[in-house]
Amino acid sequence: GEDVEQSLFLSVREGDSSVINCTYTDSSSTYLYWYKQEPGAGLQLLTYIFSNMDMKQDQRLTVLLNKKDKHLSLRIADTQTGDSAIYFCAEKKGAGTASKLTFGTGTRLQVTL
């Protein structure tokens, strides 16, 4: 289908790991992204992964990519209250200047004490 799917809500305790999942649509997508949106703010790029990679680690963030299942996940280690936000996965369809980002529905992460 056309939709990039994510679960709507995730609640974790501070200090635990968070795992946010995403199923994307286009196996030819070149880049896959994770964005964070805090209340009243725009989108902040957290990390991205090129489609020929399986994993990418960046400090507390780990991205796993399963191309066969078109599944992307974002793991946040030692989740903090400042991580509370909406997280969007996005895929880049097309190539060069004709490409566009298709976003998932967003997962609201709530971090509790």
Partner 1 sequence: KAGVTQTPRYLIKTRGQQVTLSCSPISGHRSVSWYQQTPGQGLQFLFEYFSETQRNKGNFPGRFSGRQFSNSRSEMNVSTLELGDSALYLCASSLWGPGGELFDTEAFFGQGTRLTVV
Interface ranges with partner 1 (CB under 8 A): 31, 35, 40-45, 48, 88, 90, 92, 94-106
Q: Which is nearer to partner 1, 100 or 113 (CB)?
A: 100
d(CA 22, CA 90): 9
Q: How far is the CB of 85 from partner 1 (least distance, A)?
A: 14
CB nearer to partner 1: pick between 18 and 29: 29
Hey, what amino acid is at 16?
Answer: D
Nearer to partner 1 by Cβ, of 37 and 62: the residue is: 37
- Residue 37 CB coordination number (10 Å): 15
Residue type, 64: L
